[in-house]
Amino acid sequence: MQPIDCGRHNRFLRALRREPVDTTPVWVMRQAGRYLPEYRATRQRAGSFMNLCRTPELACEVTMQPLERFELDAAILFSDILTIPDAMGLGLDFVEGEGPRFAKSVRTPEDIDALGIPDPEDDLGYVPAAVKLIRRELGGKVPLIGFAGSPWTLACYMAEGGPTERFSHIKKLMWDEPGALHRLIDKLTEAVKRYLEAQIRAGAQAVMIFDSWGGVLAPADYHEFSMKNLRALAQGIDRGPENVPVIVFSRGANEHLGALADIGADALGLDWTVSLGEARRRTGGKVALQGNLDPAALYASPASLRREVDLVIREYGRGPGHVFNLGHGITPDVNPDQMSVLVDAVHAFGRGATELA
């Protein structure tokens, strides 16, 4: 077979389109983050996490940091999924050791009806500004991914006021005031749509929707309050003249993969609790698949890590349409040297696997 004429500049985008590539592309969720000492230094200089997000020059700086260390095939905008509710006036802060917290929560129909939809070019203007800066800095070396949280996931954080294990407030709202929750999720769907379109106009070459809490819903509730709006986004976003691809990552929702393959997304992200071979069977070749190494594998020895990378690639099997990633974000205390092992192993084992079966 003739070598595929592509490289880091388009390997990722070709894989999302299920076109042949020279080797499996790889990027990692939270690849710009606390495991890197240079990120920690920039974060300290910023003074707060939100200052880091809201300063385009600093967001660009940390976006570029992992690309200067590793042969990654995509950059992802440095930001946070909770920027939209923050722009709705909920007052986002990050508490050391606890994570994100809102000054206000949204738990009643009155709370929901009082919310406006933020203007992404004004209320969230620092995000498209960062996208433009990053694209300029990348110089075409690799594509840039923009992203947003899913409507359901944003609603969870807004009702709970921060991280939770019980989801008691959002589920109470769902059962007691389903019409109000639909109004909230519809507002968030429109907000996410406008936000991602602003990122695309600014230069994002792919966009990803993080449905981090889709897996906490019972099947009927998942279809009603999560998947319905994921479909509306996948089919309704103006993708621009380049027809920017959309990736949907609905964590913990593996039983819904067959239905998710039909919502209009180009790719589905996967956690590590389903094999790629099984996911490929359930999705019937309709979408590219992204994932799905257990992030804890980065604590194993380099030899074991290489073995696990090889296993993931073998589980996907021959043929295009695979983007290698972790099944969740990289954790803060990982040794950065392990990322080098991971990326090099993906590119080594991925050669040949990407050829047509």
- Residues with catalytic roles: 30, 34, 43, 80, 157
Helix (H, G, I), strand (E, B) or coil at 322: strand
Look-up of token digits 């039909």: 262
Residues 6+ away with beta carbon under 8 Å from 157: 82, 85, 100, 102, 149, 163
Angle between helical axes of 228-236 and 151-160 (0-180°, round to 10): 130
**C-beta of residue 152 within 8 angstroms of C-beta of residue 216:** no
Q: What type of residue is 271? A: D
Distance separating alpha carbons of residues 113 and 307, to the nearest angstrom: 52
Burial 316-330 (b: 16+ CB within 10 A, else e): beeebbbbbbbbbbb
Q: Record the tokens describing residue 221, joined without a space.
A: 């509730």
Q: DSSP string of 220-243?
A: HHHIIIIIHHHHHHHHHS--TTTT
| Sign of CA pseudo-dihedral 261, 11, 34, 149 | negative
Burial (CB count <10 Å: 0-12, 13-18, 19+), residue 299: middle
Counts of helices then strands in the chain (DSSP H, E)? 16, 9
Going through 117-270 in order, the beta strands assigned E by DSSP cover 144-149, 206-211, 246-250, 267-269
Going through 9-143 in order, the beta strands assigned E by DSSP cover 75-76, 92-95, 99-102
